[in-house]
């Protein structure tokens, strides 16, 4: 009989307590932001998180870094593509859009008498690839190949 009274008392205590299944730390966590990654379109509808930017020349979203890479002369050994300028030509190659590292771009127009494209105090010239000068001072240069450059090798001996 004592055991029965003990079980009833224990049972009464258990059912009279209010159980809180929720963990207090979990309930105080703010809700996650419902922003979906990849919906950061700019004013022209270009998806910046995917590397697209608006081309004034081609009137469409482009990946500027898929153009001709020009490396800054002051930091010629850099592998940081964000410090480089990029050149995209139109179909006739009489105009080119220059994308600078500060997210600014401008269109240069080819001079009929030479292999030079000009805008304001900028000149894009063909010389062992391409050179971009500002007020006659060389600021960027590249070999004329399309796309980012990979320096070095995975193989330390340089053998394939």
Q: Which residues pair with 22 in a beta bridge?
A: none
Residue with tokens 């090798």: 153
- What is the full per-residue pLDDT of the chain (160 aa) written as tens digits? 667 776 677 667 767 665 555 555 555 555 555 555 556 788 889 998 888 999 999 999 999 888 999 999 998 887 788 899 999 999 989 999 999 998 899 999 998 778 899 999 999 999 889 999 999 999 999 988 776 655 444 444 444 4
> What's the whole-model pTM score?
0.65
**CA–CA–CA angle 104, 108, 109 (5° rounding):** 160
SS3 content of the chain, % helix, strand, coil (to 5): 20, 30, 50
CA distance 99 to 71: 12
């Amino acid at each position: 009989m004592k055991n029965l009274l003990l079980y009833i008392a224990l049972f009464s205590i258990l059912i009279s307590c209010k159980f809180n299944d929720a963990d207090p730390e979990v309930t105080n966590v703010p809700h996650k932001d419902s922003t979906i990654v990849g919906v950061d379109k700019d004013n022209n509808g270009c998806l910046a998180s995917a590397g697209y930017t608006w081309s004034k020349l081609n009137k469409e979203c482009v990946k500027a870094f898929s153009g001709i890479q020009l490396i800054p002369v002051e930091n010629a050994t850099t592998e940081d593509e964000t410090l480089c300028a990029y050149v995209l030509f139109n179909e006739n190659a009489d105009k080119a859009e220059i994308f600078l590292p500060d997210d600014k771009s401008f269109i240069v127009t080819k001079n009929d008498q030479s292999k030079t494209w000009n805008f304001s105090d900028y000149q894009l010239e063909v010389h062992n690839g391409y050179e971009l000068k500002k007020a006659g001072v060389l600021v960027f240069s590249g070999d004329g190949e399309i796309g980012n450059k990979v320096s070095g090798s995975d193989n330390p001996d340089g053998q394939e």
